[in-house]
Chains A and B, each alone.
Chain A
Amino acid sequence: MTVTTMTDWTRARPQPNWLARLFDYKPFLVVACLTPALGLLLVFLTYPLGLGIWLSFTDTKIGRTGEFVGLDNFEYLLSDPQFWSAVFYSVFYTAVATFGKFALGLWLALLLNNHVPFKSLLRAIILLPWIVPTVLSALAFWWLYDPQFSIFSYLAIDILHIRKTPFDFLSTIWPARWSLIAANIWRGIPFVAISLLAGLQTISPSLYEAALLDGSTAWQRFRYITFPLLLPILAIVMTFSIIFTFTDFQLVYAITRGGPLNSTHLMATLAFQRGISGGELGEGAAIAVAMIPFLVAATLFSYFALARRKWQQGEAND
């Protein structure tokens, strides 16, 4: 009889087969992992972007391949008052709407971060404007701003008796511009409020308690604790919000289509009108390309504002 002792037996070393060896081979792995991502980026991002930029240097029209015309499209736009009006309104729209969204969104977030009754219900309600498809809410605003059937006019005339004539929201330049901004703010608040609320909830309550004992007033707690600790997330949310607002299309297109007198065109809607509705693809593309510097500026802002602050480096504090 043979006695098998522990030392007679050696654990079989698993021999990796060719597939396992291939996946252990780093150059192969790099290529295999990058290909899908790069492919997707190329097909869905780089190609359309490149095509757009190329189109902006041609005189392509719908149904006719254009020729390279250099900077002609841009030169034409520079002397086009309608283009400058769209640039102005895009910047104005973005600035005012972002300010409004952040003022109201931060206020709501601070409110919801306190103990309020029916908190989860309130949070769900607040998300509503964001969940509703944009076109649907645009239609709702269209009704709200209707020259005859506006509920605001009805309230002012028939209920409160403070006006004799209906409000004129969309048929004169500045009221139309402000009305669109109001609609955009309404739609944008949930995103800001919920993101900032998430940020607020990461701030440890004991910091507020410590500050309370240190003798702070409510305003000082906001200024010295809430605001600086919220700043990193505020910067991200603001960058996104600026980009979304600047490139807005649906609201304006559905409510005013750029009118009255083309005064509410954003760069995106003007590009669409010239390029698709008007058929001047080259010119439309040029307008769209002109948005790029603004978007790059917003991204740079985020890059620098988001750079990890010194106090965020190192181990966590808990």
Chain B
Amino acid sequence: MATVDIRDVRKAFGPFEVLHGVSVAIADGEFVVLVGPSGCGKSTLLRMLAGLENITSGEIAIGPKVVNNVPPKDRDIAMVFQNYALYPHMTVFDNMAFSMTLAKAPKALMEQEVNRAAKILGLEQLLQRFPRQLSGGQRQRVAMGRAIVRNPQVFLFDEPLSNLDAKLRVQMRSEIKELHQRLKVTTVYVTHDQIEAMTMADKIVVMNGGNIEQIGAPLELYDRPANVFVAGFIGSPAMNILKGTVANGSLRTDDGTNWPLPTGLKNAKEGPAVYGVRPEHLRIDGNGGIPATVQVVEPTGSETQVLMKIGSQTMVGAFRERVTAKPGEILPVRPDPALVHLFDQQSGQRL
């Protein structure tokens, strides 16, 4: 186990810089999730950590040692690839034992280690199968088993669940999390799925366009997003974002709707601002709520999502109570002022 320190790392492919100086400090045993939209440079950063891409500038340290010039095999890192990268011509056993075969480990030790990993992952019955004879979830587990046998300092995962169906994804999510709690190995996990990030991470790193937007614990990002990007990215359904002008203790949008300012920002500077309210923080309130025209009602059982129009703005509300309103009806809603967010319109930063 080890800490990982990424200091002002940049990466350019030819003339194109895809990472513009990112810094992340990862504590020993921490589960860190890199999350961001496709193409923002998550995989690139992970591959640099593994040593599969070289580092254009900056430093990466694993433990106390800077590894910029250490070849991958000496970094003591195991990686689970998105396509699993199982060796198709080897059995599950041989796949998992491969690193030990290369190191010419004694047969008995090899069996002991593979069996230990197989037991953790429930693969005992599959050891003599070939990858082609396995289901997606089983392959995924073999890929993890191969990493566990390595007994590495750091685990890397690159979108390991994106090839699985929704149900299996949820199941593997908790299995990986549980595995981490058992082995307590420092883990860096890449995903574009913010729900995966929220549910698994000790710490989330939100990336966008080669930059880090915010680093923090899942609920910290949810409660206090540092900027409009994080606000819109974290949370599902996504936060409603409104543009308007702050005046007289409220935010007034162009279509003339007034929104109450956040509790701590009653005296915010007047002028243009961006207002954010999560769907689940809108309440139905008969007395003096803002009138919203219902467009679509989507009951999910535990809550009801309502797509509605307020002024000229389309917004989403998520209500615990069952909404009986029909499309076209008016629903009075009111945001909870303790839970709304205000951002600077120019920089997008939180006010």
Contacts and interface: CB of A to CB of B under 8 A. Distances in A.
A120 interface: no
Contact of A229 (B50, B51, B83, B89): B89
B132 A313 contact: yes
B72 A314 contact: no
Contacts of B132: 311-317
A80 interface: no
A310 B84 CA distance: 20
B83 A204 contact: yes
Interface string B52-86: 10000000000000000000110001110101111
Contacts of B72: 212-213
Interface string A209-220: 111111111001
A217 B99 CA distance: 11
A225 interface: yes
B328 interface: no
A173 to B, nearest CB: 45
A263 to B, nearest CB: 44
Contact of B102 (A204, A216, A313, A317): A216
A213 B50 contact: yes
B89 A214 contact: no
A118 to B, nearest CB: 18
In this complex, the interface size class of chain A, counting residues with CB under 8 Å from chain B, is: 20 to 34
Contacts of A316: 132
A216 B139 CA distance: 22
Contacts of B90: 311
A309 interface: yes
A182 B94 CA distance: 41
A209 B81 contact: yes
A311 B132 CA distance: 7
B102 A214 contact: yes
B289 interface: no
Nearest to A212: B72
Contacts of A76: none
A209 B52 contact: yes
B38 interface: no
Interface in B105-144: 130-133, 139
A311 B128 CA distance: 11
A207 interface: yes
Contacts of A309: 89
Contacts of B150: 214
A48 to B, nearest CB: 41
Contact of B52 (A212, A228, A312, A315): A212
A212 B131 CA distance: 20
B105 to A, nearest CB: 11
> Among A214, A216, A310, A316, which residue has the most Cβ atoms of chain B within 10 A?
A214
A207 B146 CA distance: 13
Given A220-B102, A311-B89, A317 B131 contact: yes
B87 interface: yes
A107 interface: no
Contacts of B99: 214-215
Interface string B161-198: 00000000000000000000000000000000000000
A207 B87 contact: yes
B88 interface: yes
Contact of A213 (B79, B86, B89, B133): B79
A206 B83 contact: yes
B102 A311 contact: no
Contacts of A213: 50-52, 72-73, 77-79
A315 B130 CA distance: 10
B86 A317 contact: yes
Contacts of A220: 102
> Among A204, A215, A224, A229, which residue has the most Cβ atoms of chain B within 10 A?
A215
Contacts of B222: none
Interface string B259-277: 0000000000000000000
B88 A317 contact: yes
A228 B89 contact: yes
A318 interface: yes
A290 B131 CA distance: 45
Contacts of B146: 210, 214
A225 B73 contact: no
Interface string B30-64: 00000000000000000000111000000000000
Given A207-B87, A210-B79, A210-B81, A317 B139 contact: yes
A235 to B, nearest CB: 14
Given A313-B133, A317-B139, A207 B85 contact: yes
Nearest to B77: A213
A224 B84 CA distance: 18
26 contacts: A209-B79, A209-B85, A210-B146, A211-B98, A211-B102, A212-B51, A212-B52, A212-B73, A213-B50, A213-B73, A213-B77, A213-B79, A214-B98, A214-B150, A215-B73, A215-B102, A216-B73, A216-B102, A309-B89, A311-B89, A314-B132, A315-B132, A317-B131, A317-B132, A317-B139, A318-B83
Interface of A: 204, 206-207, 209-217, 220, 224-225, 228-229, 309-318
- The 7 A-B residue pairs with the shortest CB-CB distance, nearest first, are A314-B132, A206-B85, A215-B73, A214-B99, A210-B85, A311-B130, A311-B89
Given A215-B102, A315-B132, 9 more contacts: A204-B83, A209-B50, A210-B81, A212-B51, A212-B52, A214-B98, A309-B89, A311-B90, A313-B132
Interface of B: 50-52, 72-73, 77-79, 81, 83-90, 98-99, 101-103, 130-133, 139, 146, 150
